Amino acid sequence: MKKILFYITPFALLLFACKEQIPVGLDLNGNTNSIDTTYLATPETPLLKKVCIEESTGNKCTNCPNATLQLEDMISNHPNRIITMAIHHGLEEDIPLQGYFSLENQDAIDLIDFIGQPAGQPAATFDRTVVGGAAMILRGDGGAWNAALTTQLAKVSPINIHLTSSYDAGQDKVNTIVKIACTDTTSSNLMLSLFVIENGLIGAQLDNGVKVPDYVFNHVLRKAITPVIGMPLLNTIVLKEKGRVIQKLISFTPDAIWNKDKCQIVAIVHRNDNGGAIKEVLQVEEVNMK
């Protein structure tokens, strides 16, 4: 027995000796506000599923403008069915003297890590579904993107999202209300992610080998309001039954650098199943910030 104690004691001391620091992002004093309610209501009629396209792009990615044009065509051809978010990273450089201003940020880097690094740029994920072993699909000639979009447009979502946002200039707070209604019973672990995107940013972009000095960047990911991986939705309820409504009021302070008139809030509800391996987006919605 003495021998056992001899071996175990140092091991146990090692494990217990170190004190953990407070996790990053924890707000014990209530600086960010989130008020939740949940209830059962008459089930809503399922809304048409919207497809979430998260684009991996960069200002030094010479083929990316063509990819962006393809996405714009998709949006035109399927009105109110597609929401895109441009994640700037990778071939993204910050050379102010040449007019290149990086739109990369930590949330963009974390989101790409979460979705999965693309094999190259341009690439995009369609509802974060895995195609050919990866969620990020390289554009190539654009055929793979068209196929992925067709697949996702045909799906029916068990989730409706109702999203509103307003800006309180007095308190410099954006108040976002997300109402999530289950139109079918689901046993998936659901996560909600809120992002701020901005349109109309101008800077240099490499386009088919030519520098375009005043390129207009739209749908640019500026910040994740929730953790990039999302926040759990009622993970204590095993089955989110048909008719279940979850409402969240989330308030945050916008960054001063943003043009709030050109900012939008994107709300994504995605699955978190099989230990996080399945991240499929079930529904997505966007609204102007103010």
Partner 1 sequence: MKRILTSIFLISSLHLFSQGNITGDLMMNVNFFQRDTNIRAAGNQLYDNLLSGGEGWLGLRYSGYGFTGTVRFDAFQNSNLQNPQSALTIAGLGMFSLSKEVNNLTITAGHVYDQIGSGIIFRAYEDRGLLIDNALFGLHLKYKLNNNLTVKAFSGQTKILFERYNPIIKGFAAEGDLDIGKNAHMTPGIGIVNRTMDKNSMDAIVSTVNSYPIEKRFTPVYNSFATTVYNTLNAGDFTWYVEGALKSAEAIATATEGLQKLSGNVIYSTLGFAKSKFGINASFKRTENFVMRSSPNESLLRGIYNWQPIIAQIRPQRLIARYTPPSQDLSEMGGSVSTYITPNDNLNLTFSYTHINTLNNDPLYREAFGEVELRSIKNFIFHVGTQYLIYNQVLYQSKEKALYPTIHALTPFVEVVYKFNEKKSLRTEIQYMNTKQDFGSWAFALFEFNVAPKWSLAMSDMYNITPNKVHVENAHHYPNLFVAYTKGPNRFTAQYVKQVEGINCTGGVCRYEPAFSGFKMGVTSTF
Nearer to partner 1 by Cβ, of 74 and 191: the residue is 191
Binding mask 25-54 for partner 1 (x = CB under 8 A): xxxxxx-x-xxx------------------
**Packed helices 143-153 and 64-77: angle between N→C axes, nearest 10 degrees:** 30
What does 101-128 look like in DSSP terms, one character per residue?
A: -----HHHHHHHHHH---SSSSEEEETT
Q: How far is the CB of 16 from partner 1 (least distance, A)?
A: 7
Question: Out of 13, 17, 22, 210, which residue is the one contacting partner 1 (CB under 8 A)?
Answer: 22
- Applying CB under 8 A, the span of 4-12, 41-49, 201-209, 259-267 interacting with partner 1 comes to 4-12
Of 179, 151, 147, 185, nearest in space to 165 by CA: 179
Number of residues that bind partner 1 (CB under 8 A): 43
Q: Which residues in 212-271 contact partner 1 (CB under 8 A)?
A: 226-232, 235-236, 238, 248
Q: How far is the CB of 224 from partner 1 (least distance, A)?
A: 10
What phi and psi, each to the nearest 5 degrees, are found at residue 65?
-60, -35
What phi and psi, each to the nearest 5 degrees, are found at residue 28?
-80, -15
152: left (phi over 0), alpha (psi -120 to 50) or beta: alpha
Q: Which residues in 51-110 contact partner 1 (CB under 8 A)?
A: none
What's the rounded Cα separation, in Å, for the pair 69 and 91?
18
Q: How far is the CB of 257 from partner 1 (least distance, A)?
A: 24
How far is residue 177 from each of residues 83, 157, 207, 217, 267, measured CA to CA in Å?
Answer: 18, 20, 39, 27, 10
Binding mask 260-289 for partner 1 (x = CB under 8 A): ------------xxxxxx------------
What's the rounded Cα separation, in Å, for the pair 30 and 28?
6
Binding mask 118-157 for partner 1 (x = CB under 8 A): ----------------------------------------
Nearer to partner 1 by Cβ, of 23 and 132: the residue is 23
How far is residue 97 from each of residues 94, 203, 204, measured CA to CA in Å?
Answer: 9, 11, 11
Residue 233 pairs in a beta bridge with 190
276, 116 Cβ separation under 8 angstroms? no
Of 240, 251, 110, nearest in space to 183 by CA: 240
Which amino acid type is present at position 286?
E
Parallel/antiparallel/unpaired status of strands 159-168 and 33-40: unpaired
Q: How far is the CB of 147 from partner 1 (least distance, A)?
A: 19
Q: Does 158 contact partner 1 by CB under 8 A?
A: no
Q: Which two tokens stand for residue 17?
A: 């000796």
Q: Which two tokens stand for residue 160?
A: 């409706």
Nearer to partner 1 by Cβ, of 27 and 141: the residue is 27
Q: How far is the CB of 177 from partner 1 (least distance, A)?
A: 14
Q: How far is the CB of 97 from partner 1 (least distance, A)?
A: 36
Question: Out of 13, 15, 97, 154, which residue is the one contacting partner 1 (CB under 8 A)?
Answer: 15
Binding mask 161-200 for partner 1 (x = CB under 8 A): --------------------------x-x-x---------
Which residues bind to partner 1, rule: CB under 8 A?
A: 3-4, 7-8, 11-12, 15-16, 20, 22-30, 32, 34-36, 114, 187, 189, 191, 226-232, 235-236, 238, 248, 272-277
